[in-house]
Chains A and B, each alone.
Chain A
């Protein structure tokens, strides 16, 4: 830590570490200085000139994103000189800006709009015609470019140069003729391309997936965690429930990364970002059912389903022994789900080694040095910390079991013909319709709970929307079957399950359900088995 020095900010004596950027030091004091090009994750080239402020002793206004704090510095961010300099800078940015706000997806979350209201409010002196450039340029799988709206802050080019190192974008030309464009022959299709939409302070880069669906001001925002891989990026789930016609009835409208210095920084991958669609997909299982003798599924109420599954399990366990029941579980289940599963297995007398959590072939994918992990499940470490084996596949159990209870994973088809087959999950997958029993599971965007990422950090998932139809989180299903078997499961929300979990499981001892927003490390560190 650099040593603290005293300096003056708007006439007030404040302290900040020596060498910190004045713009950051001001932010720490609650003083916002307008800026476009500076982004803490992308550096401070000082090209937008919007953060100019008055610095005593300097002949001209200085850029606070290029000025370091030192002893005795005297900065004024709101003096008449500073304000005029900022407003003039903004006017320069808007000189050729089309002001398409009615058709621009950024409206409502646009830094140009916001800064004009807060720091601009000048009368425009520009009388010349605006320069026209290419609009609606399809530059990649997920991104649409409007060159007219671009203010050349170079955030996106620095992102593809320094973060993904894929170098697709650059600013070409000079002066008012400079345009943002792709390098010839390239397309913006790297696995993190969606991030350029988030960092673009204006509506130059918009998301093709989200384009024109919902206005930003209609969205509700819920902090949660992406369950797309073992990284567990902090995300915000943006939902549109008050005006469903805008998204054709889809409740989850988009995901945005949420800043978490310990996990994902400012970014998230495209796979995770667009993975939200399963929440409202046609494949959602909305009700529970049992296959009749005629091979047709008959609908069951949740209470009925739990009672009948419990009855059947009790009989089969009594006849064939509980060691013959296998649980094939997706390691994306929350700790609460797994804790309830453990209680259910204990009640039935099924050994813990009968639970298979190792990612199946469809749950493994690409990995890179930036964020993505090859295990496409969110809670492998949590499962290991709760004492489940997470490396053994289902092969060892083949031929030795009379029943298979599958939760949220594919491959159920290979168990056809067993006396007991149950598939539980949110989205139907290959083989799920071959099970005799189907229990409707809640999607992760509908789930409250905790997951542990690959480095042992516990984070909170929060339900952004209620479970669809009669679907319920996995812990609720395990709990109601457990209760139907005569066991005790006195919980009706995930928080209560977590309280019991942290009291019973040494790996989670002392943790509270209301975790800090960046999450916390497991008190005893990452479990060894999860690294394998």
Chain B
């Protein structure tokens, strides 16, 4: 029999009176901001004066400055190719099976090459759902899927933009990181 899927109801916190009158919450937020300001001011001063201690935080000017990630960070997926340019993937669906985020979608078909036998007709990964655990890379018996490191610039304007198809995963179609335009908070120059 089919497993009956039960949908867990998530209880949202209710908006209390204290939150509704707004002023108390604004005040609480200001306290947090001020605490960060003072702590960082203290830390930066302390380092600058040679007294050591933990370094203060710095805001990265992303995307003008590159984001720095760990050397071995797991980022976007890449489908590898055979020497003749066809994908190594044989659509065994082990990555789809192991994926804890259930964000891999494969459809299989007959391969024209009898020695390959089976291949992926479609292979999609929803990077918006992926948790970048790397299990898919571990599971693959064909070394057909790997993950790049330090490549985090794959923004999209819709959730659909984050679903990558085979050509993009194989690198045949570039998913160019769309440069995020610096937006002037005051709007277009009113001069």
Point out residues on A near B: beta carbons under 8 Å. Answer: 100-103, 107, 135-136, 211-213, 215, 217-218, 220, 222, 239, 241, 243, 245-246, 248, 462, 464-465
Contacts and interface: CB of A to CB of B under 8 A. Distances in A.
B3 interface: yes
A245 B104 CA distance: 11
Given A102-B92, A103-B118, A245-B105, 19 more contacts: A101-B141, A102-B118, A103-B91, A103-B117, A136-B114, A136-B117, A211-B110, A212-B109, A212-B110, A212-B118, A213-B108, A217-B97, A218-B97, A222-B1, A245-B107, A245-B122, A246-B106, A248-B107, A464-B2
Nearest to A464: B2
Which of A103, A136, A217, A239 has most B Cβ within 10 Å? A103
B93 interface: yes
A218 B97 CA distance: 9
Contacts of A136: 114, 117
A102 B141 contact: yes
B117 A220 contact: no
A220 B94 contact: no
B25 interface: no
A462 B108 CA distance: 30
A180 to B, nearest CB: 17
Contacts of B115: 135
Nearest to A132: B115
Interface string B116-133: 111000100000000000
B2 A239 contact: yes
B90 interface: yes
Contacts of B2: 220, 222, 239, 241, 464-465
A465 B93 CA distance: 24
A188 to B, nearest CB: 19
Chain B's interface size range is: 20 to 34
11 contacts: A102-B141, A102-B142, A103-B117, A107-B92, A135-B115, A212-B118, A220-B2, A222-B1, A246-B108, A248-B107, A462-B1
Main secondary structure of the interface of B (DSSP, over half): loop
Contacts of B141: 101-102
Contact of B92 (A103, A243, A245, A464): A103
B89 to A, nearest CB: 9
Contacts of B97: 215, 217-218
A107 B117 CA distance: 15
A39 to B, nearest CB: 27
A135 B1 contact: no
A56 to B, nearest CB: 44
Contact of A135 (B106, B109, B114): B114
Going nearest first, the 6 A-B pairs with the smallest beta carbon separation are: A102-B92, A103-B118, A212-B108, A103-B117, A103-B90, A102-B141
Contacts of A243: 96, 105
A245 B107 CA distance: 7
Interface of B: 1-3, 90-94, 96-97, 105-110, 114-118, 122, 141-142
A135 B107 contact: no
Contacts of A102: 90, 92, 94, 118, 141-142
Task: Count chain A CB atoms within 10 A of each CB in B108, B122, B141, B142 and give the residue with the most.
Answer: B108
Contacts of A135: 114-115, 117
A217 B94 CA distance: 11
Contacts of A245: 105, 107, 122
A246 B91 CA distance: 11
Nearest to A136: B114
Contact of A220 (B1, B90, B92, B93): B1
Contacts of B90: 102-103
B113 to A, nearest CB: 10
A102 B106 CA distance: 14
A102 B2 CA distance: 26
A103 B141 CA distance: 11
Nearest to A465: B2
A464 B90 CA distance: 30
Given A136-B114, A239-B2, A241-B2, A212 B105 contact: no
A243 B122 CA distance: 14
Contacts of B105: 243, 245
A107 B106 CA distance: 17
